[in-house]
Structure 1
Amino acid sequence: MNKNKILLVDDELNLRETISELLNYENYDVKTACNGQEALDLLEYWSPDLIICDIMMPVMDGNTFHEIIKEIHSLNSIPFIFLTAKKENNLMRKCLLDGADDFIYKPFKIKELTSIIESKIERFEKIKNNHTNLYLGKKKYFLHEINTPLNGILGSIKLLMKDEGSLDRKEVLAFYESIKMSGERLNRTMQNIILYQNLKNNSIKFNDNSSSEILNTFLNTKEKIFKIYEGQEKRISFDIDKAIIKFSQEHLEFIFFELIDNALKFSSADKKIIVSGTKYDDKYYEININDSGIGLSEEELNKIGASQQFNREEREQQGLGLGLFLSKNIIRESKGVFSIISKENEGTAIKIFLPLYKTTNLD
C-alpha cells in the first residue's frame, strides 16, 4: 500500500527531525525543507498529499510560500496547515481567510497533529479521485487537442468509405497518411497526460542503473521528428559525442523529441536548430539545444508549468504545453540539471547536464 506523502517546512532542525520521525512512525512518507524556497524546489519533482509549514522562516517565509502555492494550479488543492509558535491576535483567522486548511500553535500534541492530518488527507483523496490534477485552462485547449486529431481520423475514414470507388491510389494513400498523422498527434497528447499524472503521483521509478548511448538515441529521435517535419532535415545541425549516460533511453528520447520539436515549431523554416553534446567532466555530459525562434520573455520563463502556453492564438500552438515542463522535471528527477535562457524575437538556449554512467571512450 502506498504511503501518504507529507511535506514538512520548518527552519528549526530539532523540531523538523522530531515531527518527521513521529510521522514516519505513523506510516507517512515525509520530506522536509528548512524554508519556502527549498520547499518549492522539492515541489518541482515531488507532489505531496499535505503540506505542514511554519510561518516565520528565513529566505522565504510561510506566508509567501503559501501565496505562491495558491497560484500554481497543480498544487493549490493540496491541504496546507500552518504551524507556528507566534502568538498574535487574529493570526489564525487571517491565515484561514487566506486559504490555509488549518492552523496549529506550537507546542502541540502529536495526536492533535495526526488527527488533523488524517482528516485533511481523506478530503484530498476524494478530490484526487474525482478530478484530474492537470489544469487545462479556461479556453478548453484540452478538448481542442483531443477533438482536432480525432476529427481528422474520423473525417478521413468517412470520406474513404463514402468515395471508395472514385478515389485513385494516390488519393487513398493521402487519406491514410492523414489518419496516421492525426493518430500520432492524439497518441502523443494522451501519453503526455499519462506521464504528467504519473510524475505528480510519484509513481514513476527512476532506476539508478538505467543507461543509454546518447548519440544513437538522438539519431533515432531525429528520424521520428522528421517523419513529422518531412523534407526539413537540413534545419537541424548537430555535433554530439558518443557517451553512455545514467538515464533511461525512453526518457532521453522523450526529452530530445519535445525540446527539438518546440525549437522547430517556434522557429522560421530558414533558421537552423543547433544541437551539441560533449562530456563536461568525469561526472556529467552537457547537451545544448539552441534556436533563433520567437523566444520567451522573462515573465513567461518564470511561468513555465504544466499546460502553460503563451499567446497561443498568435503563435498557433499545438499541444497542451506539457513538453517543456515534463522534460525539466524528468531531468531533475534523474539527478540532472536543466536551464533555459530565452529572449523575445531572438531565440532560446537550453542547457542540460546529465550524469555519466561510465567514462569509457566509445570511439
Structure 2
Amino acid sequence: MNKSRILIIDDELNIREVITEVLSLNNYQTKTAKNGQVALDILDDWTPDLIICDIMMPVMDGLAFQKIVYSDKLLSTIPFVFLTAKVENNLMRNCFHVGADDFLTKPFEVKELLKTVQSKIERFKKIKNTTNLYIGESKNFSHEINTPLNGILGSIDLLMDDTAYLKQEEIIIFHEEIKTYGERLNRTMQNIIHFENIKNNQFKISENDCAEIKNVFKNILNKISFHYKKQKNRVVSELTGAELAISSNNLSFILFELLDNALKFSPENKKVVIEGSIFSDDYYEINIFDYGVGFKEEELKLIDATVQFNHDEREQQGLGLGLFITKSIIKKSNGIISIVSKENEGAKISILLPIHKK
C-alpha cells in the first residue's frame, strides 16, 4: 500500500522535526522545507497528498506560497493546512480567500495533528476519485470543482470543531466564505450543464422568451456587489430600457459572465463600463468596456471550451468555458458578439441581441 505524501513547511526546525517524527511513525511519507521557495523546488519533482504550511516565514510566506501552488492546475487541488500561532479575523479571511482547508494553532496536540491529517487526506482522495469518475481527467474542471468544495468543507470542519471557541464575527466570516464558495461551485456546475446541453444540441430557446434589460442588470449588480463587496461602484452603467428576445436566465448568464471577467482581470481602481441602447428596429446593442489585461490576438482565436488561456496571469475560474458558453447562447439567440482588444490595454465587447416583438 502506497504511503500518503505530506509536505511540511515551517521556518522552525524543531516544529518540522516533531511533525515529521509523528507522521513517519503513523505510516506517512514526508518531506520538509524551511520556507515557500524551498518548497517550490520540492514540488518540481514530488507531488504530495497534503501540505502543512506555516504562515509567517522569511523569503516566502505561506500565503504567497499557496497562491503560486494554486496557480498551477496540476497542484491546485492539494489540500492545505496552515500552521499559525494565533488566528485573527483578517488572517482567517485571507487564508480562506486563497483556499485554506484548515488551521492548526501552535502549540497543537499530536492527536489533533493526526486527526486533521487523516480526515483531509481521506476526504480529498474521495473528492478526487468522484470528480475524475464523472468528468474524466479534465484538470480545469477538477480544479473548478475541488477548489470551492475544499473551501466549503474546510469552513464547515472549523465551525463544527471549534464552535465553542469562535467569536461571533469569526463565525460570520465562515458563513460568508461558505456562501462565496457555494456560489462559485454552483456557477461551475451550471457551466458544465450548459456546456453539455450545447455539445449535445439540447440547448433550448423559445420564441416567447423575453427579458427587460434594466431589470436583469439590476439583479446582476446586486450579485456583483456580493461577490466584490466594496467594488460595486466600479461598474458604471447607461442602459436604455428594452425588452429583448432572450430568457432572463440566459441574459443574466451573459451579463454576469462578461462583467465578472471584466472586474476580475482589471485593476481595482479602474472602472468597468456597460452601455446599452436601441441599435435598430430589430436589435439592441450592449457594449462592455474594461481597462484590464486584455487579450492577445491568438487568445481571441482560442475562445473555446477546451482552452483556458493565459494560465500564469489569470486564476483558473472557468474563463475559457464561460466565454464559450456566452458566445453559444448569443448565437443560438440569433445575436452577435464581437471582441476588440489589445494586450494590457483592456477590451471592448459588443453584443447585438434581437428585440422582443409583442
Does the TM-score normalized on the shorter chain lie above 0.5?
Answer: yes
Deviation of the 1:136 alpha carbon? 6.9
Q: Mark the CA change 1:272 to 1:313 in structure 2 (over 3 Å): closer, same or farther.
A: same
Partner Cα separation in structure 2 for residue 135 and residue 199 of structure 1:
19
Deviation of the 1:135 alpha carbon? 9.1
SS at match of 1:312: coil
Partner Cα separation in structure 2 for residue 276 and residue 320 of structure 1:
22
Deviations 1:48-99 (Å, cap 9, x if unpaired)?
xxxxxxxxxxxxxxxxxxxxxxxxxxxxxxxxxxxxxxxxxxxxxxxxxxxx
Residue number in structure 2 paired with 1:342: 341
Partner Cα separation in structure 2 for residue 244 and residue 301 of structure 1:
30
Q: Mark the CA change 1:343 to 1:197 in structure 2 (over 3 Å): closer, same or farther.
A: same
Within 5 A, what are the aligned runs for 1:246-261?
246-261=245-260
Amino acid at match of 2:233: K
Residue number in structure 2 paired with 1:191: 190
Whether 1:160 aligns to 2:176 is no
Deviation of the 1:316 alpha carbon? 2.6
Residue number in structure 1 paired with 2:235: 236
Partner Cα separation in structure 2 for residue 318 and residue 207 of structure 1:
30
Structure 2 residue runs without a partner (length 5+): 1-132
Partner Cα separation in structure 2 for residue 153 and residue 202 of structure 1:
33
Partner Cα separation in structure 1 for residue 280 and residue 137 of structure 2:
41
Deviation of the 1:259 alpha carbon? 0.5
Residue number in structure 2 paired with 1:301: 300
- Normalising by the residue count of structure 1, what TM-score does the alignment of the two structures yield? 0.60
Residue number in structure 1 paired with 2:207: 208
What stretches of structure 1 move > 6 A for 4+ residues in a row? none
Partner Cα separation in structure 1 for residue 164 and residue 181 of structure 2:
24
Partner Cα separation in structure 2 for residue 238 and residue 191 of structure 1:
27
The percent identity for this pair of structures is 54
SS at match of 1:268: coil
Structure 1 residue runs without a partner (length 5+): 1-130
Residue number in structure 1 paired with 2:74: none
Residue number in structure 2 paired with 1:274: 273
Amino acid at match of 1:298: E
Within 5 A, what are the aligned runs for 1:306-325?
306-319=305-318, 321-325=320-324
Partner Cα separation in structure 1 for residue 280 and residue 298 of structure 2:
33
Kept in 2: contact 1:307–1:320 (CA 8 A) = no
Partner Cα separation in structure 2 for residue 320 and residue 284 of structure 1:
27
Partner Cα separation in structure 1 for residue 171 and residue 333 of structure 2:
45
Partner Cα separation in structure 2 for residue 135 and residue 289 of structure 1:
35
Deviations 1:240-262 (Å, cap 9, x if unpaired)?
00001111111000000000001
Deviation of the 1:358 alpha carbon? 3.5
Residue number in structure 2 paired with 1:128: none
Amino acid at match of 1:194: I
Amino acid at match of 1:218: F
Residue number in structure 2 paired with 1:358: 357
Q: Mark the CA change 1:278 to 1:136 in structure 2 (over 3 Å): closer, same or farther.
A: farther
Amino acid at match of 2:209: S
Deviations 1:115-155 (Å, cap 9, x if unpaired)?
xxxxxxxxxxxxxxxx98x8975xx1221111111111111
Partner Cα separation in structure 2 for residue 220 and residue 320 of structure 1:
22
Residue number in structure 1 paired with 2:291: 292
Q: Mark the CA change 1:339 to 1:191 in structure 2 (over 3 Å): closer, same or farther.
A: same
* Alignment length (residue pairs): 227
Partner Cα separation in structure 2 for residue 254 and residue 345 of structure 1:
26
Q: Mark the CA change 1:210 to 1:272 in structure 2 (over 3 Å): closer, same or farther.
A: same
Q: Which moved more, 1:312-321 or 1:274-283?
A: 312-321
Partner Cα separation in structure 2 for residue 136 and residue 296 of structure 1:
27
Kept in 2: contact 1:142–1:320 (CA 8 A) = no
Amino acid at match of 1:246: A
Q: Mark the CA change 1:136 to 1:330 in structure 2 (over 3 Å): closer, same or farther.
A: farther
